[in-house]
């Protein structure tokens, strides 16, 4: 869908993109003060909508922000925005900003949060990367300490991830591996990371600085259904270097193989059999479940 035809939900109304405007004094713009969710639409259904909405309400509560809608109202607004844009496949960006207020950090001077829902398409990686796998680069930029900001809060302040993404691209990769303060693997710039060794799957625990991703959870459930053990363990770059397979998960990324890290091939440098099977399983799950949209 062309951007000019996009219809955006903004504070109770669905309006053309050209009319979807917020104040330059919105604290989301001025200070990155807000939260968001990325959500997928498959085959006319919104994938794991309830889980995404639970998480955005939890993120908002964690930063002392009140979403000015009930859970049910936000659910209906999301579905209505998808229907208004006629999307059966696509991506939703649900954004809650602190709202307008005077200059200064004090969030209590912002009387009401703003709700923005965008339903469109997204391409995180080129199509051939889903066939051949991603090249990754370890980033010097570290994940913030959980003592600074919980990784479970999907904050609008994504500069940490943006800087890491710049490093990855400038280093010749499509994705960057981010370490925590102790040098353990946390996650990628926008995805959770998994490795496979001796037929078992390993992923960093959320205590390492990783987001408790919804696609991450779905992949873990599918692997268990496949009879493949899944372990949450502290992980170093060495573990990725010597893995047999590696894959990433995320709402925008879905499930995708990673085949190179820091110019070292992972396994044989091609997507492995367990990753390939998991991708098939995830596609089947995503296209057969979710909250139906009424068009």
Catalytic residues: 154
Spatial contact of 22 and 34, defined as CB atoms under 8 Å apart: no
Spatial contact of 235 and 243, defined as CB atoms under 8 Å apart: no
The helix/strand/coil state of 96 is: strand
- What is the Cα 85 distance to its own chain's centre? 22
Spatial contact of 64 and 107, defined as CB atoms under 8 Å apart: yes
Bridge-based pairing of strands 114-120 and 7-10 is antiparallel
Spatial contact of 246 and 240, defined as CB atoms under 8 Å apart: yes
What H or E segment, with its residue span, contains residue 165?
Answer: helix 159-170
């Amino acid at each position: 869908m062309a951007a000019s035809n996009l219809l955006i939900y903004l504070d109770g109304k669905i309006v053309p993109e050209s009319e979807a405007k917020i104040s330059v004094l919105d604290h989301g713009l001025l200070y990155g003060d807000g939260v968001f969710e990325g959500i997928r639409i498959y085959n006319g259904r919104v994938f794991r909508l309830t889980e995404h909405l639970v998480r955005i309400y939890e993120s908002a509560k964690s930063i002392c922000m009140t979403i000015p809608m009930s859970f049910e109202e936000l659910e209906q607004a999301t579905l209505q925005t998808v229907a208004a844009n006629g999307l059966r496949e696509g991506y939703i960006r649900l954004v809650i900003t602190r709202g307008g207020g005077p200059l200064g950090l004090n969030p209590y001077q912002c009387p009401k949060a703003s709700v923005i829902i965008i339903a469109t398409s997204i391409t995180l990686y080129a199509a051939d990367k889903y066939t051949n796998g991603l090249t990754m680069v370890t980033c010097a930029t570290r994940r913030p300490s959980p003592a600074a900001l919980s990784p479970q809060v999907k904050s609008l302040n994504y500069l940490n991830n943006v800087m890491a993404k710049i490093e990855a691209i400038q280093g010749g990769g499509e994705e960057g591996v981010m370490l925590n303060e102790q040098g353990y693997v946390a996650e990628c710039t926008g995805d959770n990371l998994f490795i496979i060794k001796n037929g078992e799957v390993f992923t960093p625990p959320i205590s390492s600085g990783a987001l408790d991703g919804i696609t991450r959870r779905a992949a873990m459930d599918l692997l268990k259904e496949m009879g493949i053990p899944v372990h949450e363990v502290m992980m170093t770059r060495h573990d990725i270097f010597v893995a047999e397979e590696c894959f990433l998960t995320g709402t925008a990324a879905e499930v995708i193989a990673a085949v190179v890290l820091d110019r070292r091939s992972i396994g044989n440098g091609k997507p492995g059999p367990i990753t390939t099977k998991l991708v098939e399983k995830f596609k089947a799950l995503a296209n057969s479940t979710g909250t139906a949209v009424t068009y």
